[in-house]
Structure 1
Amino acid sequence: MDAEILNNIFEPFFTTKDAGKGTGLGLATVYGIIKQNNGFINVYSESGRGTTFKIYLPRQKSVPDALPKIKKDAPAQHGQETILLVEDNPSFLELTKLMLQELGYRVLESRTPGEALDLARDHQQEIHLLLTDVIMPEMNGRELLNSLQAVYPKLRHLFMSGYTANIIAHHGVLDESVNFVAKPFSKKKLAAKVREALDKEMV
C-alpha cells in the first residue's frame, strides 16, 4: 500500500474497492476490538512487496473465572413503522436499509437532506422515525430534523455517525436529549436503538 492508503485504512467506510463491493468496515471493526481490549496494532507495508499486520494484546495474568452459562440472545426487536433513512454513503445506506427491512420496518431511503425533505413532503402517510447521519452536505442531522418536524411534529429521531457522540457534541450538533448510535453497528444494536427511539415519549 502507498502512504496515502496506509494512513486511512482504519477509518470507518474507507475502501479502495468500487462502489457496492465493500463497506470499508472490516479493518475499522478490528481496530475497535483491539483498542477495547487495551491493545494496539501495527502495520508494515511496501508497495509491490506485501503487508504485515502485528497485533499486541496485554497478557492475562490472573486465573480466569469459570465460564458463565451461555444465554441465548433475545430475538431482535421488530416493528412495522415507517423510517426515513438518510445516509450519504451508498454502501452503508444499502446495508442499513436491508437491516431495517429484515426487522419489519418500511424504509424510505435518501442520500441527501434535500432529497429527504422532498421525499417527506410527497409521502402521503405518516413517517414515524428519522434515522440520519449527523454530518452531511447541505445541512446536518439536527437541522434536517428541525425542518422535517415542521411537517411531522411527532417525528422521532435517531442520529448515527462514525464519530463518537462526545466529538459531535463539541460541534453543537448533539445534546443530551438526542438519540444516538455509533457506526458501525450490528443489526441487534440497531434494532434496540430504533425501538428505544420509537417508544420514547416526546418532550
Structure 2
Amino acid sequence: MFPSMGVLRRQSDTKSLADPLCGSTSGTCACVESPLPSAPYCRTEVGSRVTVHGIPAERCARSPFPLAGLGHTRRVSRLIEPPVPREVAVIYDAVGNRVRGMIVSELGRSGPLSTTDLAQRVGIARNYALKHLAKLEEVGLVRADTPREVRARRVTLWSVDVERREQMIEQFNGFLRGQ
C-alpha cells in the first residue's frame, strides 16, 4: 500500500527485475512507493512515448502502467509548432540541436576533421557524431570528402559548406528581422 495515497498495488503490477534506479529486486520499487515529492516516480506520456523516472518505458525494469490513475500521472500535450517558412524550419531542424551547432562551429573554426577527431573535440561518442553529421549533410551544411557509398572502413574528412552556411544565416536573420 502507498502510505500517503491509500492505493493497493497488485503483485502483477510489478516486474521482478532489478530496478535501474534503486536496485530493488523484490518486485516493488522503493522509489515508486516513496511519498516524498522529490522521489522520481512520475510517469510521463508524450504522444505515444512513455517514460518512467525519465527512462523510456521500454528500458525501465518496472512496468509504466501500474502508475496510471494514482494521482501523480500527468499527460503532456503535443507540441504545437507555429507556421514558419520552409527554409527557416530546415534551419531549426539542422542547428536547433546544441550538438549540431557545436559540430558546425568546430568545423568552421578548425577546418576539415575526421569523425573521430570531431567527436573528441565536441565531447561526444563517434556514432553520435555520425548521426548528427548525416543530418547536417542532408541539409547541405556539411560535406564529406568521400561519397556515402564508399565511406565504410575509410577515414572521412568533414568540412562546412561555407556558402550554404552563409545562406542559412542570411535566411534566418531575415526571418528574425521580419523580412
* TM-score, normalisation: structure 2: 0.25
Which one has a larger percent helix, Structure 1 or Structure 2? 2
* TM-score, normalisation: structure 1: 0.23
Which one has a larger percent strand, Structure 1 or Structure 2? 1
Larger Rg: 2
